[in-house]
Structure 1
Amino acid sequence: MGLVLFKSGDSLSRKILDRQFNLLQQQAAHPIKNDVIIVGINEDSFKKFQEPFELWHPHLARFLQAMKAAGPSIVGLDIALPERSYQFMLPHYEEGLVKALQALSTQTPVVLARKLDAEGALRPVDGVLVSSVADSLASVTLCPEADGVVRRFDLNRCTVNAQGTSFAEVITARLGMQHLGIGLVDFSAGQKFDYIPFSHVLEWQDQSDVQRLKSAFSGRIVLLGVVSARAEKVRVPVPMALWSPMDKRVPEVLVQAQILRSMVGNGLITEIPLWGNACLALVAALLWVGRSGWIKLLVFAVSPIALWLLATWMLGKGIYLPLGSILLSGLFAFIARLGYESILQLRDRKGLRQLFDSYVNHEVLNEIVSGKIDSSLDGERVRVCLLHARIKDFSRRVQEGEPQASVILLNEYFSEMALAVHQHKGTLDKFAGSDLLAFFGAPQTLESPERSALEAAQEMLLRQREVNSRLQENGIPAIEIEIALHVGQVVIGHVGSASRKDYTALGTEVDVVKALVDLAQGAGCPVVCSAEVAEAVRIAGGISEVGERVVAGASLYVYGWTPSLLGRK
């Protein structure tokens, strides 16, 4: 995983770096005090001079004579010089070029480029030309990165023992500058290049226009190179040619000129050490720590922008901070944390589904799992309406009847009663013998828990008829159920051991409703309830006063209720 992140980060860093260089070039390019001057051999020059380029000796000699008159600080010939002498064909043909080289080199350093052939090997240069200027030959090799773009000056990336032999290094050494090491080329140094046509320089020389030559070249670094369509092209991060303002494939001489700009300007750009980048990537990985939320999302959204601005500012100051591995580390940590939390949420939802599956209906269960209803696992105080139901004389039936009949009875009974409770958004608390305890108002908040409980009680009495019908088919006597309803504040939560917990109601009101059901038989009604519950159903009728009673040690006014629907067959 680390290797994948490193490679992906390297690729991302290159893309970000190119955007940074483009921004700096457009908005914050720093000027060069003594900029490099390019003399360009363009298509017009090739049309004007009909000889093959290998036989341009007279024209090159005139150019060198012009440079001698102009007085530049150094001249670099970034062109493919003849590989061999043509003395055997044209006696004395190259003498003019040799003399011009020797004459210029006595007052101005001259550096000759050694180009590459089609196979990438250094091409030989005519020995006569090389010997005319001592120690002047230099390689114009450039080392592109994995994506084919030249961003760095470091010949050791693609050659062996090349230090000090490159075109730019030899030029700066001749200018008396110490070895400037390796680093990123500063593509924000200077504006896009323009060039002075080669043919114009020769015209000024032919016209003996020394003033114009001095004005253009005196004291400057001058590079001669091909800028026409037939020039060797190099891919770079930013457009560099003023005559082709959108093209990132530029003549090789422009790249050499930009390297020189970097060296004689603020220097090559230094990359922070690998360990520094690794430390920042580890800091970004801290996005794993802590639960996801708005603050972390804000940090995740703002950090890349802040880092990009910081790194761009540093790049303008000559320090390169690769952002790819840092950003990918933060992104991976953030996404991994989201995935981890999603797994935890799925586990929690599964746990909630298992916990509440037998307590509430599926509609309420789905809302609990989705988080729309607070499940209150830790416990909270809630106002609910409690329902306690039981089968009349059940203990006697169990004692006198067959065991199988008792089990069948309870299964039939509880199945129907649970449906009645769930249908009216109630929560089953527990089964104990024939007793059933349920509550309304938690975990789902209800507009009127009392009314929902009354409707559930009515539904239970109606379903009792269906239960009795099936029991009688099996030869089991019919049952009567007694129901008590009471409203009050209780504690709701999950209670139990580590291996088993029940979602249950706790408190005095639970004791009250359990004691209240004992009054059902004497009340002559299937349902008994406290005054607050009776008030919710009074308009529907069927309410009768039982009177004030002592229930669970407290005085309580009790009412009986016979639902009107029970009269329907």
Structure 2
Amino acid sequence: MTSAHLLRLLRHFSWWHWLAISLLLVLLDYTVLHTSRIIDQRAGDVLLREHAKRRPVSTGVVVVDIDQRSLERMNEAAGSWPWPRSVHGELTDYLARQGARAIVFDIHFNEMDFYRPEHDQAFAETVAAHSNVYLAMALQDSGSGGPMASMIPPAVGVVALPGANPQTRIPVLLPLVMLQHKQPEAMRGGLINFVEDSDLVGRHYLLYKDYQGWRFPSMPARLARDLGWPLPQQGDRILLNWRGAWQHVSYADLYEDAQREQPRRPLMEFKDKVVVVGAAAPGLMDLRLTPLASTYPGVDILATSIDNLRAGDWLGEKPRPVVLPFIALLLGSIAWLFARGYAPTRILYGLLGVNVLVVAIAWWQLGRGVFLPLFAPLAWGWGYFWLCALLAYLKERQQRERAMGMFQRFLDPRVVSDLVANGEINTEVNAESRQVTVLFSDIRGFTTLSETRSPEAIVSLLNRYFSTQVEIIFRHGGTLDKFIGDAIMAFWGAPVNDPDHARHAIAAAIEMAEALVRFKAELTELGHDFDIGIGLNSGPAVVGFIGSRDRLDYTAIGDTVNLASRIEGQTKGVARVLVAESTMLLAQADFSYRDCGLHHVKGREQEVRLFEPGRLGTSGNGS
């Protein structure tokens, strides 16, 4: 959209119209489009990372890490990955002896080891011997799976919802090694599905997942149910409250301890802790995108969710529409400030202050376990601010161009732009009373001159004369009011306030008289009858744009103007330049004056004392 289009829209829409349009867009976004959700997500990630750094290491959950070091050191004892499952059984026995409250495997055991079935058998028997071992499951996006009635024993913990069909085939990865070796009661566990938000980042963890009438618990929810931890009353997921670090124990180190004939002091205290066994080695590809890192170990995500339910410190999440009143208040405040004429820079600083306050509130609430989606509202505020700033700029430019077009007729074009930019003249200001000095200049002998020359020559002569005189007026800061036939009207003191308006006006009048002498010399014999008279008067006048809707002129009206015109009429036979006593008194120290006595002027009962000004050291300019 071009600036011309924006200007046209500006003429038809006020700040409040733009506010209504913006609020409608906000409502559409929060109810249908949700395009600004990613702002809450990404900005919230920054807070979550900083918050996680300040949370201490969990005292109730330990991660046994199949790291790269473990893959290398276990080669001799177990071969390459995947290891025989009896290795996991031996580790399970060891952790159970150490008093672990729960042993959770973030490893799938859904496929049988056809080459080493005895190892599967040993692992199945070990898991069956300990009621605190939990195995991983996962719902897949595709596939058929087996029928619910025959594939899923009660130990899995699946709940049939109303209308559930026992013959439904569900693509779920189960620890079928337990079933194969006749240990169905050992198939306790839950889903470890990774949950992505709309931007593919994992911030939540499932509590359960419904599939065709069947409800599958997640691993953290299954532990919570069995161990008596409280669960959220609403929703199928929790927003994770991350920790910056975990108690990690290398799988290889722990396995070596388990193999020792003579026990030693354990690497870590496992009594009454939940132990999560999983793979963080890069080569095993269990790395996920989370707020904390782009390659965050999946086992740490599971540990975080379990720890959140254990401690009851998962993050409460306010629904995004709850901030709509705040957005309306923020945008309404911005619109009100712009409509009141506040400078955009002041509004910008205020908005920055609001940002700091909002981030502080979000951080404070995060510390209390609540995530507030306050960042998209800030983005809407900034977007609306820049829209208003653009509209204010376009409106100001329109006013500036209007002022430039109007005042270039009255003022020196070289200074109009500076005056408008500095706010010294404004087309929106109504007519007002100002202290001004008014100048009238009229040509004498013009009638005689026009009778002896062609119209073209007369027009050329007048244009040359007016150009010279107007240039002098502009150079001394005067405002050209109008041409009245062969007369010029100008004034000082408006639209720009000029405390020395009388001095500047007299200086211009003296220079205009001096320029006339040079001009007459150029005319040779034609200049004999060509002369001017200049009258000046100072006082109050009403100044502003006066006229019809279609044609306005910036002019001065009042008794001060009328007297200046009458003084110009008194110059013939007295002096080229005459000023009223009011003007002389305002610039008494700047010029020399010749007292020309009292004069009776039309429209006034009292006579007016007039003076001929001259440069200091002279006695006037002559008649």
TM-score bracket relative to the smaller structure? 0.7 to 0.9
Q: Where does 1:365-514 land on structure 2 (aligned, <5 Å)?
A: 365-371=416-422, 373-375=424-426, 377-392=429-444, 411-446=463-498, 448-464=500-516, 478-514=529-565
Output one character per residue of 1:146-171: Cα deviation in whole Å (capped at 9) or x when no partner: 44431112489999888534322332
Q: Where does 1:242-391 land on structure 2 (aligned, <5 Å)?
A: 249-286=295-332, 287-291=334-338, 292-293=342-343, 295-371=346-422, 373-375=424-426, 377-391=429-443
Output one character per residue of 1:397-421: Cα deviation in whole Å (capped at 9) or x when no partner: 8899987777666555434432231
Measure how far apart 1:452 and its partner are.
2.5
Measure how far apart 1:342 and its partner are.
0.7
Measure how far apart 1:61 and its partner are.
1.9
CA 1:73/1:146 → structure 2, altered by over 3 Å: closer, same or farther?
same
CA 1:419/1:177 → structure 2, altered by over 3 Å: closer, same or farther?
same
Unaligned runs of 5+ in 1: 239-246
Measure how far apart 1:553 and its partner are.
3.4
The answer to whether the 8 Å contact 1:10/1:324 transfers is no
CA 1:494/1:463 → structure 2, altered by over 3 Å: closer, same or farther?
same
Q: What CA distance in whole angstroms lies between the structure 1 residues aligned with 2:362 and 2:45?
A: 12
Q: What CA distance in whole angstroms lies between the structure 1 residues aligned with 2:210 and 2:365?
A: 27
- Out of 144-153 and 127-136, give the one that drifted further: 127-136
- TM-score, normalised to structure 2's length? 0.76
Output one character per residue of 1:126-145: Cα deviation in whole Å (capped at 9) or x when no partner: 44457524342533220233
Q: Is it true that 1:557 corresponds to 2:585 in the alignment?
A: no
- TM-score, normalised to structure 1's length? 0.83
Measure how far apart 1:224 and its partner are.
1.3
The answer to whether the 8 Å contact 1:520/1:560 transfers is no
Structure 1 counterpart of 2:512, one-letter code: M
Q: Is it true that 1:94 corresponds to 2:120 in the alignment?
A: yes
SS in 2 for 1:112: strand
The answer to whether the 8 Å contact 1:409/1:471 transfers is no
CA 1:163/1:30 → structure 2, altered by over 3 Å: closer, same or farther?
farther
Measure how far apart 1:76 and its partner are.
1.1
Q: What CA distance in whole angstroms lies between the structure 1 residues aligned with 2:113 and 2:487?
A: 116
CA 1:505/1:36 → structure 2, altered by over 3 Å: closer, same or farther?
same
For residue 66 of structure 1, what is the aligned residue in structure 2? Answer: 94
CA 1:158/1:323 → structure 2, altered by over 3 Å: closer, same or farther?
farther
Q: What CA distance in whole angstroms lies between the structure 1 residues aligned with 2:241 and 2:212?
A: 26
Q: What CA distance in whole angstroms lies between the structure 2 residues aligned with 1:398 and 1:152?
A: 95
CA 1:312/1:157 → structure 2, altered by over 3 Å: closer, same or farther?
farther
Q: What CA distance in whole angstroms lies between the structure 1 residues aligned with 2:337 and 2:393?
A: 14
Output one character per residue of 1:504-538: Cα deviation in whole Å (capped at 9) or x when no partner: 22332222211112211141x21112245457588
Q: What CA distance in whole angstroms lies between the structure 2 residues aligned with 1:4 and 1:347?
A: 33
Measure how far apart 1:476 and its partner are.
10
SS in 2 for 1:547: strand
The answer to whether the 8 Å contact 2:67/2:280 transfers is yes
- Out of 120-129 and 447-456, give the one that drifted further: 120-129
Output one character per residue of 1:547-566: Cα deviation in whole Å (capped at 9) or x when no partner: 12244333432123578899
Q: Is it true that 1:222 corresponds to 2:299 in the alignment?
A: no
Query: For this pair of structures, how many residues does the alignment match?
Result: 549
Structure 1 counterpart of 2:297, one-letter code: P
The answer to whether the 8 Å contact 1:42/1:197 transfers is yes
Same amino acid, percent of matched pairs: 20
For residue 37 of structure 1, what is the aligned residue in structure 2? Answer: 62
Q: What CA distance in whole angstroms lies between the structure 1 residues aligned with 2:611 and 2:116?
A: 132
